[in-house]
Structure 1
């Protein structure tokens, strides 16, 4: 994917796999409520598109501070996410 290209979304994966966005979410989150053939189609679409879940959006949905979410996304991109585990745990306790 070129730098100017749009990141694939969960809806893009769903369209390619012929399923709903909720089904893609279930596969990404490891739910067992998806048939093996559907799971395979979704995983194939994820690979083909190069889809990666948006960690910032996920953190915001889970109630983390937007600034902390941005830091976590950058740490994840660099591969240093383990350094932020104590910060995430503290943020969850503060909710």
Structure 2
């Protein structure tokens, strides 16, 4: 097996950040469905409105980015970004 395939620069994290309206019952339902679909695709809640998914390769990360694009709700703002495992490991997280 190629050792480069699993190094910290090939392993990726897909991050989904969103702000969805919930003024009406229909909007609430769409927001809940979007969150459920993210979880069904293996994403985990990182903090409010931010979900993360670990991917073993850039190619796999692209697959999950495409899936997110297919599940976008009609209203709201959704951003999808990928970072390397190395970048994720350099993140400073503070708890209070």
TM-score (norm 1): 0.31
Structure with the bigger percentage of strand: 2
Question: More relative contact order in 1 or in 2 (CA 8 Å, sep 6+)?
Answer: 2
TM-score (norm 2): 0.31
Structure with the bigger percentage of helix: 1
